[in-house]
Each structure stands twice: as C-alpha cells, then as structure tokens.
A and B are shown apart, each in its own frame.
Chain A
C-alpha cells in the first residue's frame, strides 16, 4: 500500500489511539486505507462521490466502534474489509428500497468483543504478514478470479462469461486459491 509495509501491529497501535479519541490516529488510518476503501466501492460500481460517502461511513464506524474490535480474532484490514463490505450493501439496499437502514444489520460481531486489551501481538502480526505474502504468491489467474469475486462482486457464472472460461474452471480456481490459504487460516482460526 501506501501502506503495504505497514504491519498489523502498527495498525493496532493506530486503533489504540482511536480508542483514546485521537483524531491524528484516525487520520493516519484514513491515509493508509481510504484510497483502498474508495477503490473497493468504485470496483463495486459506485460513483466516486458515492464511494466517498461509503468511505466516510466506514471511518465513522471505526471511530465509534474501535472499542468493540477484537484484535485477537481478526487483523485490522479484515475488520475494514467487513465494514466497507457492509456499508456498501447498506448503500445498495438503501438505493433499491429507499428504506432506512440500521447500522450493522450484517454480520460484524464475529470480529468484535468487549474491550480487548491492546497487547503486543507479534504472532498475530506474523500470521497476518504470512497470509499477505501467500495471497501475493497465488498465481495471477487465481488472484484475478478472487479479485472479481470479492471486489467486483461477480458471481461464478458472470466471471465465467466475462473471462470465457468454463464454469468448472472458475470454481476450481477459486477453490485452489482458497485451499492454499486455508491451511494458514485453519491454524489461525481453529487453533
């Protein structure tokens, strides 16, 4: 990133600052992630001004809910991913129905716990870094399929049409990519 070398440990330090209502910590997190959150919303079909509204909502949620984020269960980037994913879905549903959408209808609580102490999380940080390296090492054709699914919101069928690939090939690329990560994830999640 602007922060590809920023470790989860450093991000956790920023979350610590945000918990203490330090706006400069929020600004640093914003500088690192806003361009990524913006890119996510645009990849999902939002106009730039709509994407900015979503980024704003995400940063506001970070400010208001940092004390609920459980650093032992997820890395900061994963938390931000779930926030932007959910805010984008809220936005989509609001657009479609005109309904007022409550905060956090969609799952976030699995990353939340009541006030975890901000300890030195070396192991968590190492896992997080390894996973990022693993994702970077996934063959480009598998990464591309993951990207289309996670960021462009394409279904398996849409990806298969767009890339002129048999549906089975798309599914197997996704499975291969996920299974490569699964071992690492299993260590992390199932302990």
Chain B
C-alpha cells in the first residue's frame, strides 16, 4: 500500500472536479491503488452530492427526457442485434497490467510500451494536451539513477512499477511524490523490477552537477 500521499487540498481539488488534465490523470493513478485516499475522496464527493441537492436549478429543454428515451430505444435495438457488450468489462480487461486511468494512452501490457531515449532513462510521452504541464512515463533500469537535480517548477510523480529512493525516502508502487524548486534530489532505482513512474512537470529539471 502507498506510503506517500497527496495532501488533502489536492484530493479536494480532484474530488471537486477541478483537476482536468495531467495532474488529474496522475491523481487518478494514485487514488486507484490507495485505499486511504479513496476514503478521503469519497468524503469530499459526499459534500459534492449534498451541494448538488441544494444547488439552484436550471431547467433543460422540455423534450430532453424524450431524447434520452429515444437513445435507450436505439441502445436496446443494437443490443438485441449484436448481443450485450459491457463497455466497462471490455475496458477493464483483467489481462492488462496498466493502471486503469492510463489504458487509454498505452498498450495493454507495460512490457509493450515503446520507449524513447537511452537505456539509462527511457521516456514515453502521453498524448495529452496540457498547456501548463508536461506528462510522461519514465523507466529507470534496476541499478540506474537520475543525475542530481532540482526543478524549475513543480514535479508530481506516481510510481507504477518497482521503486526508487532519494534523499527524502524510499518509494514503491502507488506512492505519490511532490517536489518543488526547494528540493534537490538524486533518485536511484531500487532492486527488483525496473522502476516505471508517471511524471507531471510544470517546468524543466535543473541539473546541479
């Protein structure tokens, strides 16, 4: 289970639907595996549900429900002709080792990812438009490390496979790590599997050595 978590402010922002792009995807990857943060998230969502009950209403067109029923008719017809297919079951394939929130962007198996760059630190950018952040997957081989660096902006990381350690601690699958420009670190991968992590950056790394 994850031992390093996002702070409550970030979970609240995520639960209230305010993290649309890269950071939202990264948060989804952490929360997907973290029971502790799922509970906080559920609590903040409960607040959203109650606010929804008290919001001032805005009436949709009077024929909207008819349109919905027409769509249900069409659905039933297509299910009857091709048999019922559960889109969730298709998506949530148990054969995939890729975290559910990333399946839209990656092949079904982590081992099939086509990496870019050197064997020291390989990179797989995600096809996601975000003007504020860069999002990519990285793979650091067992025994590998990233040159000591700090950050020009903020860095958010979630470990997806293996683990790494730096000056502030040791991190494994599911851990969420935030670093800003005050943090200088020299991450080294842990023994076992190659370390794969999802990274979201608001500014470039600044190498210090």
Contacts and interface: CB of A to CB of B under 8 A. Distances in A.
Interface of A: 1-4, 23, 26-27, 30-31, 33-40, 42-44, 48, 51-52, 55-56, 59-60, 63, 65, 68, 73-82, 84-86, 88-89, 92-93, 96-97, 99, 101-107, 110-111, 128, 131-132, 135-136, 146-147, 149-151, 153-156, 171, 174, 178, 181-182, 185-186, 188-190
Given A80-B52, A155-B18, A178 B101 contact: no
Given A88-B17, A186-B43, 19 more contacts: A1-B54, A35-B57, A35-B58, A51-B60, A56-B68, A59-B68, A74-B49, A78-B50, A81-B49, A82-B49, A85-B16, A102-B91, A106-B101, A107-B28, A136-B54, A171-B9, A182-B43, A189-B42, A189-B46
A60 B67 CA distance: 11
Interface string B85-127: 0011001000000001101100000000000000000000001
A55 B57 contact: no
Contacts of B53: 1, 3-4, 36, 77, 132
A106 to B, nearest CB: 6
A107 to B, nearest CB: 6
28 contacts: A1-B54, A3-B53, A31-B65, A36-B52, A40-B52, A52-B60, A59-B68, A65-B88, A68-B88, A79-B49, A81-B48, A81-B49, A82-B49, A86-B17, A102-B104, A103-B87, A103-B91, A105-B100, A106-B28, A107-B38, A107-B41, A135-B54, A147-B55, A149-B18, A150-B16, A153-B17, A185-B43, A190-B39
Nearest to A185: B43
Contact of B47 (A36, A39, A135): A135
Nearest to A134: B50
Contacts of B46: 74-75, 78, 131, 181, 185, 188-189
Interface in B7-64: 9, 12-13, 16-18, 20-21, 24, 28, 31-32, 38-39, 41-61, 64
B49 A75 contact: yes
B64 A56 contact: yes
Contact of B13 (A65, A128, A155): A155
Contact of B51 (A35, A37, A65, A150): A150
B31 A107 contact: yes
B37 to A, nearest CB: 10
A37 B42 CA distance: 19
A111 B42 contact: yes
B56 A39 contact: yes
Contacts of B32: 107
B64 A150 contact: no
10 closest A-B pairs (Cβ-Cβ)? Answer: A78-B49, A35-B57, A85-B17, A77-B49, A39-B58, A185-B43, A81-B48, A81-B49, A150-B16, A38-B60
